Amino acid sequence: MIFSSYLFLFGFLPLFLLLYYLTPLRARSWTILLSSYLFYGWWRFDFLLLLFAVTVLSYGFALWLERSPHPKDQFRILTLGVTLNLLTLAYFKYTNFGVQSLNALLESLDIPALNWTPILLPIGLSFFIFHTISYLVDIYRKVAPPTRDFIDFAAFIALFPHLIAGPVLRYNLLAEQFRSRVHSLEGFSRGVTRFITGFCKKVLIADTLSPLVSTVFTLPNPTFTDSWLGAVAYTLQLFFDFSGYSDMAIGLALMIGFRFPENFDHPYISRSIAEFWRRWHISLSSWLREYLYISLGGNRKGVGRTYLNLFLTMLLGGLWHGANWTFVLWGAWHGAWLALERYLGERKSKTPPQAKRANPFLALWQSASTLLLVILGWVMFRSDHAADAVRMYQGMLGMNGLALGEPLAVSLRGLELSTLVGAIALVYLAPHWKNCNPKYVAALEWLIYPLFLLAVLRLSAQSYSPFLYFQF
C-alpha cells in the first residue's frame, strides 16, 4: 500500500482518521499502532513480525541500559543492541550483495559460484533500524530517559506516515507529542493541503518524468543530448518524488496532531556540497552527523582525521542507500567533495581579509558548479551498474554524438518536456514564494485543489509507481 493509490486515499486513510478521532485521547496510540501494523502488513505479514521483533528488542535494551550502573557495562549493552540491529539490516539488505560480489570473484578465478536463494528486502527496514539505533544511543548518552510506555514507543517506530521512507526521527523529540498534542481544524487543514501538495509532486511531476528517465538510462549508446536530458530529468524526478513523499508524511502527521521536522529546503540552489547536504534529506544528514560522524571522532582528532571522517560518513551513507557498488561510489563522490570543501574552506579562512575580492558572479558560479556535481553524482546513484554510469558519462561528454538520438526521439512526448521545464521553473521560483504578496500566494494556493483532482484522475491511467526511496 502506498500513499499515491486509490486504496490508501479512499480506503485506508478515511477509515483510519474516523477511528482515530472516535478513539478516546488516552487510547489513540493503540489506534496508531494497530493501523500502522495493518498498513505495513498489507504488503507482507511475515515482515510485520520482523518490525515487532526489532521494536521489542530495542525497547528491552533501552531499559537494560538504564538499569546498569556501570559505564563499561552500559557500553557493552549499547554495543550489543546496536550490533543486533545492524546484523538484522545487514542480513536482509547486504547478503545478496555480498554473495553476488563473492560469486563474481569466484567466477573470475574459474571457481564454481555459490548457490543461494535471494533474500527479499523488507520495505522501510533501513529507516526503522535507524530509528531504533538512535533511540539506544540517545539513552546511552543520557540525552533522554527510556520510555516505560511500550505502546507509545511501538507506535512511534511503526507510525505509518514515516515508517516506509522517513523522515528519520528521534523518539525523544516526539515523546512529548505522544503524551500530549494539539488537535485542531486549522492544523488538520494545513495537513490536508501539505498532503495533496506532495501527492501532486509525486503523480504529476515525478511519475510523468519517470518514462523519460527509464528510457535514457537503458539506451546502449546515449548521445550528448540524450544523456543530459535523462540526467536532468532524473535529478528532478528524484527530488519531486522524495520531497513529495516527505510532504505527504508531514501532512499526514499534522492531520493527527504531530509535527515532523522539514526534510527538504530547496537543495538545488545550494552553493556547496556541504550546503546541499544541509538542505537535502535533512533528517538523514542530521542522523549521519549525530550518530556516525561524531561517533567516528568528528573534528576532535586532528585535521587529517576530520577529512577521513567526512569521507567515511558519506561512504557509509551511500552504502546505506543500497547494496550496490554504484551507491558506494556515489557516497565516495560526495565524501571526497565534502573533504575537499573543508580543506579549501580552512585555507580560505587563513587568507587576510584585504586579499579577498568580491565577485558578483561568485554565487551564480557556486550554485551552477554545485548542481553540476550533484547531477553527475545522481547518474551513478540511478545506474544499476557502474558500467551503465560510465556509458552515461561517455554520452554526457559527447562521445556518441551530440543530437537527440532516434530511439529517444521516437518515444519522447511533449508532456514530458513541458513537465521538465515546469519542474525546473518550480525549483528556482519556489525559494522566492514566501516573498510574494500574501494575497497572491493565497489565491495561487487554491490551484492545488484542481491539480489534486487531476492527479487523482491520472492514477487510473498509470501503472503501479512506488516512491523511489522505498527501495532503500
What gap in Å lies between CA 339 and CA 343, rounded to an integer?
6
CB 245 within 8 A of CB 197: no
pLDDT value at residue 378: 97
Q: What is the rounded distance in angstroms from the CA atom of residue 196 to the CA atom of residue 175?
A: 27
Pick the last residue of a domain from 180, 207, 225. 180
Contact 54, 88 (CB under 8 A): yes
Spatial separation of the C-alpha atoms in residues 155 and 182, rounded to whole Å: 18
Q: Total domain count for the chain?
A: 2
pLDDT in tens, 37-56: 999 998 888 899 999 999 99
Q: How confident is the model at residue 204 (pLDDT cuts 50, 70, 90)?
A: very high
16 burial class (0-12, 13-18, 19+ CB within 10 angstroms)? Answer: buried
Q: Is residue 406 one of the residues assigned to a domain? A: yes
Do 168 and 219 share a domain, yes or no?
Answer: no
> Sign of the C-alpha dihedral, residues 193, 196, 198, 201?
negative
Residue that wins the pLDDT comparison between 148 and 346: 148
- Residue 301 pLDDT: 81
The type of residue at 283 is S
Same domain? 151 vs 199: no
Residue pLDDT, tens place only, 152-170 = 999 999 999 988 887 998 8
In single-letter form, the type of residue at position 7 comes to L
Q: pLDDT higher for 436 or 384?
A: 384
Please tell me whether residues 238 and 290 are part of one structural domain: yes
Q: Are residues 378 and 426 in the same domain?
A: yes
Tell whether 379 is covered by a domain. yes
* Residue 288 belongs to a domain: yes
Mean pLDDT of the chain, nearest integer: 89
Span 315-329, mean pLDDT? 91
Domain membership of residue 335 (yes or no) is yes
At residue 330, does pLDDT exceed 60?
A: yes
Give yes or no: residues 408 and 279 share one domain.
Answer: yes
Better-scored residue on pLDDT, 69 or 32: 32
| DSSP structure string for 289-318 | IIIIITTTTTTSS-HHHHHHHHHHHHHHHH
**Cα separation, 276 vs 330, whole angstroms:** 15
- % residues pLDDT > 70 (the chain): 94
Q: For residues 466 and 3, what is the distance between their CA atoms, to the nearest angstrom?
A: 9
435 and 295 in a single domain? The answer is: yes
Q: Are residues 79 and 228 part of one domain?
A: no
Together in a domain, 422 and 323: yes
What's the grid cell of residue 222?
Answer: 546515449
* Domain endpoint, select from 154, 180, 206: 180
Is 41 inside any structural domain? yes
- Are the C-beta atoms of 212 and 233 separated by less than 8 Å? yes
Q: Does residue 298 sit in the same domain as residue 443?
A: yes
- End-to-end CA distance of the chain, in Å? 16
Check pLDDT > 80 for residue 219: yes
Residue 118 belongs to a domain: yes
| Pair 132, 259 in one domain | no
Report yes or no on 175 lying in a domain.
yes
- Of 127, 150, 180, which residue is a domain's last? 180
Q: pLDDT class for 355, splitting at 50, 70, 90?
A: very low
Cα–Cα distances (Å) from 251 to 67, 154, 194, 415, 432, in that order, read 38, 21, 5, 28, 22
Q: Which residues are catalytic?
A: 321
pLDDT digits (tens, 9 = 90+) for 440-456: 767 777 788 899 999 99
Q: What are phi and psi of 297, to 5 degrees?
A: 125, -15
Q: Three-state DSSP class for 3?
A: coil
**pTM confidence score:** 0.90
The reply to whether 1 falls in a domain is no
Domain range enclosing 174: 6-180
- Partnered with residue 399 across adjacent β-strands are 401
CB distance 324 to 97 below 8 Å: yes
The interaxial angle of helices 185-200 and 448-459, nearest 10 deg, is 50
Phi and psi based region of residue 155 (left: phi greater than 0; alpha: psi -120 to 50; beta: remaining): alpha
CB 113 within 8 A of CB 145: no
- State whether 82 and 141 are in the same domain: yes
Q: pLDDT at position 164, please?
A: 83
Q: How far apart are CA 299 and CA 303, in angstroms?
A: 7
Let me know whether 243 and 208 are in one domain.
yes
Average pLDDT over residues 13-32: 95
Polymer length of the chain: 472
Give 75-112 pLDDT, tens digit per residue.
999 999 999 999 999 999 888 888 888 888 888 888 88
